[in-house]
Amino acid sequence: MPNVLNYSIIGLEDYSISFESYCRQCEIQNHCKYGKENPFTIEINCNDLNQAKERIKFEQLQKLQKTEDVSVPYEELITKVKINLQNIFSQLWKDKIKAQKEDIRCLDSRKIDSMLVAQQGQDWWQDFNHTIKLINNECEKII
């Protein structure tokens, strides 16, 4: 079920990601708080993504300043900074989706078979990862 997530612009720098296509009637979803009438939706703000990138950049610069020679200019230091977007996306996944597993029954291995949860979680993650990359590209155009 790839690429079933819908995202839309809800503000100048705000995006909404809807898991509506996942909310089909099935044995697992019958016990979910979310459904077709009330799909699971999260909001992403470009500032959230940009602040995460800036925080990582700042932390890496601090480390580099301790190890590099004092004469190395800032411009050269900044070229050595590497931002791993996957880590940022993973943190968003953890904070905005995995944290809701009490309400999203199909992602709660305490209530559903762990093999089903693992597969469902992997499908959701792949689609979320693809969608958040698209949103990130849109956010970078705004900067």
pLDDT in tens, 65-111: 888 888 878 888 888 888 889 989 998 888 888 787 666 666 666 76
Range of the domain at 60: 6-142
- Give domain status of residue 12, yes or no: yes
Higher pLDDT, 130 or 80: 130
Spatial distance between the Cα atoms of 56 and 59, rounded to a whole number of angstroms: 5
Using a pLDDT cut of 90, give the percent of the chain over it.
Answer: 17
Main-chain dihedrals φ then ψ at residue 17, nearest 5 degrees = -115, 120
Pick from 24-28, 42-46, 94-98, 104-108: least confident: 24-28
- Give domain status of residue 83, yes or no: yes
- Give domain status of residue 103, yes or no: yes
pLDDT of residue 86: 92
Tell me which long-range contacts 36-41 makes (C-beta under 8 A, separation of at least 24). Answer: 40/100, 40/103, 40/104, 41/16, 41/17
pLDDT of residue 136: 93
pLDDT mean over 21-27: 60
- Give domain status of residue 1, yes or no: no
Pairing of strands 6-9, 14-18: antiparallel
Higher pLDDT, 132 or 103: 132
Q: Tokens for 140, please give them.
A: 């970078």
Number of domains in the chain: 1
